[in-house]
Chain A
Amino acid sequence: MEKIIDIQSDKKEKFLAPFDNQQFPVLGAMSTLRRSEARAALDSIPLPHSRQETWKYTRTGKLINAVWNISHKANEVAIDDMKISGLDCYHLVFVNGHYSPTLSDNLTLETGLEVCPMSQCDGDKAAFADRLIQKNENSNAHLFNHFNSAYWTDGLLIKVDANTEIGKPIHIIHKTVGTNSASVFRHVLVAEKSSKVKVIQSFSNGGGSTYNNVLTEAWVAENAQVTIDKIQAENAEGITIAREDVRQESNSTFHINTITASGGFVRNDLAIVVDGENCMTNLYAAYAPQGKELVDNHTVVDHKKAHCESNEAYKGIVYDQATGVFNGKVFVRQDAQKTNAFQQNANILMSDSATMNSKPELEIYADDVKCSHGSTTGQFDEEAVFYLKARGISDKNARQMLVQAFVGDVLDELDDEVRAHVGSLLRF
């Protein structure tokens, strides 16, 4: 037994070593303390293995056993294909984990909106970000979330003033290129009282294997509305660990659409704490892993206060030898009476070698609630295919239509331009 632990800690040290001796942006005393706390946590938390509940179906060997280079600034990359055609939005671009001023729009965007790369925050902004960072941290953070807290190199601080509606979506583009290159992002999003903002995050990579670790912390204040569209379209060599830590105050709305079009290894953790009454929380996702890809979605919605509603719809189409994992958890605390929580996970397996592991969980401590969840996994309705074929539609087209209809209700949540963009990325 001890021998195994030795091997484990050896492995972990090798994995962490390249990240330890870096220059990190300094915001202030608090964030420096958070870094060292997170570094200590990395020492104490064991490497993921199948006996751990959060890693039961997901093997991380590919990530742990590789030797990662800290990405260097590389400005000469093409990102035009990541832009959403026809969509009027602000572009903010990160290449290999660093903010790229040449590829991004001017930082003075509009009144009531403050946007600043974390690496460039100074004065008031640095103090503001310093106060907020990791304040929200959830107790269920896993090894790679602590990894993010210890080693983040850049990200965006986005602050929306009270009573402000931001006219255009903010599109954050993450591009990582090179061989064995790793990028660690930390975004902080604050939507003050009665504000409204929409953020699009898109991810793409090029070259050899890449590792993106991105953590977004969001505060949704009273009566505010925040929408995040997350578009993941990396190649089979890409490894992504993403997490959203969200706190909602009363009367607020938080909406996230996670579209995983491709990616060798994708792990998404959503941790939403609903800490106010009359909140609305919507989590939608579509994923379509092919080849030997793996998509792992973990969500936690923690209802702490009464009269809230949450909707969750995760839809997956698993091809080839790919693997899909869904683990959704809804907590309804004792004070969260009159909660309506709905959770749905539907999957289609397209091949005999495809695997889907689904675990929709409910933990309920209040009695006057309506909570339900459903999970289905199956194959195509052959009768529906036959119906279409009988009307002169080819087998391939018929199946494509049915797949599109299947994920349609998730894609419908997107704006038209985003929907068209995502449609071109999904390889149905």
Chain B
Amino acid sequence: MSEEDKIIAEVTNKEYEYGFTTDIESDTAPPGINDDTIRFISAKKNEPAWLLEWRLQAFHAWQEMAEPEWAHVKYDKPDFQGISYYSAPKQKKELASLDELDPELRKTMDKLGISIDEQKRLSGVAVDFVIDSVSVATSFKEKLGELGIIFCSMSDAIQEHPELVRKYIGSVVPQKDNFYAALNSAVFTDGSFCYIPKGVRCPMELSTYFRINEKGTGQFERTLVIADEGSYVSYLEGCTAPQRDENQLHAAVVELVALDRAEIKYSTVQNWYPGDSKGKGGVFNFVTKRGICENHAKISWTQVETGSAVTWKYPSCILKGDHSIGEFYSVAVTNNYQQADTGTKMIHIGRNTKSTIISKGISAGQSQNSYRGLVQINKTATNARNFSQCDSLLMTDRCGAHTFPYIEVNNSTAKVEHEATTSKIGEDQIFYCLQRGIREEKAIALIVNGYAKEVLNKLPMEFAVEAQKLLAISLEGSVG
């Protein structure tokens, strides 16, 4: 076996590092979905009547909808009647401090490398930790509270700030937006809620770790971030999921609202279980993420995607206000039999709006990696400006890299540029490194990191390290 083959075998045989299951007693709804399931979830969460009505509307719309098939992915469709739509860890008692947490839960967090108390003391990151569908621990809440920042689970927000939730929920991603958004609107169990008051600059990175835990449960979180006029927030979301044999469905909705002069930076490191090296198992990630910008507002999406068997995800910006800015930075890595169809939508409505899209795809193994993006310049968007760059890197001769950009221009003052390239790592680049005594494995890591640097640089410090580690794990030596 040559050195190269050894490396390939090593990487492809590598088991999912974060694959383990936490044993916590759950309160799980029977599988299947109907009006009663939704009433059960709503009652379980003690929700107001308007929200139940809202969920039912979404559910009825969903029943009329067909699963989308336009994406460049192939998979066995999930059985929506075979999924349990509610699973909450049994945790009735209110916690006075984090120390009272279930020891099993603490262990899980430690394995993931998020020691809550350490986070609390050292890093200045508030973690809203979600296991399955219910948020079990929220830290730094008080500190944020002093500034008037609300950062809590969606369930708490519904109880404590119903007026805000009611005003903004569904305002960016309507119930009937698409098949998975409608399903999420009907059955979402929890998620995070964040409100930054006028003129406040959130002093720390807000962060949530999601995990799918209970066997056979889908995860349907709903995140709502509202940045009021002139405020700033940087929000981090990271995902790891334990190893499972059957496919698990993850259909989240994220809504961002950036009011006048507000700025939201939303970063994701996504590492759902991608299935084993034969393509068996893995998480289906069908996510709807969208933000709306008012005048002079800015929304920036940064994502590092290394996980999921099937990804279907298009974080988008509606540039409604004049002078608003949308950004999308993405690194998507697929290995083995992973399939990713991901990209963004930039909808220019306001005058002098700007958007930037930088997408870096890396395909290895027998995976398929697609960029699908829309840049739409509406008639009203005078002087709109867009720059898109989508690069793909191919690591083996059996993987695929695809680009499907949609560019719709309805205003002559617009300037829209799109560039895409596809290539493999240059042999001359590797040769250059080898010549200088850098091993091939290292050389590839070096080149890939350089290739993705533009995006990794946009991540907050706390995440950049983790993202680099993930990239290295996913790719080192997988060149064909």
Contact = CB atoms under 8 A, between A and B. Distances in A.
A186 B384 CA distance: 44
Given A352-B412, A377-B416, A362 B401 contact: yes
B409 A367 contact: no
Interface stretch (A171-179, A200-208, A260-268, A368-376): A368-376
Nearest to A374: B419
A242 interface: no
Contacts of B394: 364, 366-367, 369
Interface stretch (B318-326, B420-428, B431-439): B420-428
Interface centre among B409, B416, B417 (most CB of A within 10 A): B409
Interface stretch (A34-42, A145-153, A218-226, A353-361): A353-361
B407 A375 contact: yes
B423 A359 contact: no
Contacts of B398: 334, 365
A337 B404 CA distance: 21
Contacts of A365: 398-400
B197 interface: no
A356 B415 CA distance: 12
Contacts of A347: 409
A378 interface: yes
A379 interface: yes
A362 B379 CA distance: 28
A58 B379 CA distance: 18
A372 B421 contact: yes
Q: How large is the interface on B (under 10, 10 to 19, 20 to 34, 35 or more residues)?
A: 35 or more
Given A366-B397, A367-B397, A369-B423, A374 B409 contact: no
A156 B421 CA distance: 40
B408 interface: yes
B187 interface: no
B445 to A, nearest CB: 18
Nearest to B392: A364
A311 to B, nearest CB: 15
Contacts of A363: 72, 400, 402
B420 A373 contact: yes
Interface string A328-354: 000000100100000000010111111
Contact of B407 (A53, A358, A370): A358
A2 to B, nearest CB: 14
A371 B416 CA distance: 21
Nearest to B400: A365
A379 B405 CA distance: 20
A57 B412 CA distance: 18
B20 interface: no
Given A362-B402, A364-B400, A378 B420 contact: no
Interface residues of A, number: 36
Contacts of B399: 365, 367
Nearest to B385: A378
B410 interface: yes
B417 A368 contact: no
Contacts of B379: 352-353
B285 interface: no
Contacts of A371: 421-423
B409 A377 contact: yes
A357 B407 contact: yes
B22 to A, nearest CB: 40
A379 B408 contact: no
A116 B331 CA distance: 57
Interface in B363-415: 377, 379, 392, 394-415
Contacts of B143: none
Contacts of A357: 406-409
A360 B418 CA distance: 9
B412 A349 contact: yes
B405 A361 contact: yes
A41 to B, nearest CB: 21
Contacts of B50: none
B423 A360 contact: no
Contacts of B70: 53
Contacts of A360: 403, 405, 418, 420
Given A53-B70, A365-B400, A379 B423 contact: no
B424 A373 contact: no
B396 A367 contact: yes
A350 B412 contact: yes
A362 B413 contact: no
B480 interface: yes
B414 A355 contact: no
Contacts of B424: 367-369
A378 B415 contact: yes
B420 A359 contact: no
Contacts of A377: 377, 407, 409, 414-416
B326 to A, nearest CB: 18
Interface in A370-413: 370-379
A366 B408 CA distance: 29
B409 A356 contact: yes
Nearest to A331: B402
Contacts of A367: 394-397, 399, 424, 480
Interface centre among A347, A349, A362, A374 (most CB of B within 10 A): A362
A364 B412 contact: no
B351 to A, nearest CB: 13
Contacts of A353: 379
B8 to A, nearest CB: 14
Interface in A33-65: 53, 57
Nearest to B408: A357
A362 B397 contact: no
Nearest to A53: B70
The 3 closest A-B pairs by CB, nearest first: A349-B412, A367-B394, A358-B407
Interface of A: 53, 57, 334, 337, 347, 349-379
24 contacts: A53-B70, A349-B409, A349-B411, A349-B412, A349-B414, A352-B379, A355-B409, A357-B408, A357-B409, A358-B409, A359-B404, A360-B418, A361-B402, A363-B402, A365-B400, A366-B397, A367-B396, A367-B399, A370-B421, A372-B422, A374-B417, A375-B418, A376-B416, A377-B416
